A = this chain, B = another copy of it.
Amino acid sequence: MPTDVIFRSATEKDVPAIVALLADDVIGAGREGESDRYLAAFRDIDADPRNHLVVADLAGEVAGTLQLTYIPGLSRMGAERAQIEAVRVASAHRSRGLGREMITWAVDQAKQRGCGLVQLTSDKRRSDAIRFYESLGFELTHEGLKLQL
């Protein structure tokens, strides 16, 4: 278990490292490339108080990333829900408990904020990831449906 990891908000300087993590993935690789859109998207996230792009910083290196989105809603007695997207751990740091530390941290953030629910979707091909989330208490109650535009 990495003990010296720091969870901090991403800055503009982290964007290339985060995009590299998104691309260093069997499923995500074909979806990324060179684009000015990344910086614009970072600024959209950074300006939004309900979106939090996070890096797991290990001695100054971006070892992992995830994004938290806090979604207000009427259902479940008006409870806010926290959504986790874009979870990635750098290949050099996998299988050492960093992912577990990241998701546990994210769930704690949601608890501290008073959210009623944490949700995420995971590609059905990521069977290891799905087992990992189940081991953290997530339940496979829903289908995750996507429509590409």
Binds B, one of A1-9, A25-33, A93-101: A25-33
A115→B9 CA distance, assembly (Å): 24
The 8 A CB mask of A32-43 against B (1 = contact, 0 = none) is: 110101111110
Q: Is the CB of B137 within 8 A of A121?
A: no
Q: How far is the CB of A72 from chain B (nearest CB, A)?
A: 4
* Residue from B15, B85, B117, B130 within 8 A of A75 (CB atoms): B85
Give the number of chain A interface residues (Cβ < 8 Å): 66
Q: Is the CB of A121 within 8 A of B121?
A: yes
Known: A31-B76, A41-B80, A120-B145. 17 other contacts (CB 8 A): A33-B77, A45-B73, A48-B72, A51-B71, A51-B72, A53-B74, A69-B71, A71-B85, A73-B85, A107-B149, A118-B146, A119-B121, A121-B121, A123-B141, A123-B142, A130-B145, A141-B146
A39→B72 CA distance, assembly (Å): 11
Given A118-B146, A146-B117, A147-B107, decide whether A74 and B141 contact each other with a Cβ distance below 8 A. no
* Residue from B44, B115, B119 within 8 A of A72 (CB atoms): B44
- Among A40, A72, A119, A123, find the residue whose CB has the most chain B CB atoms closer than 10 A: A72
A79→B40 CA distance, assembly (Å): 10
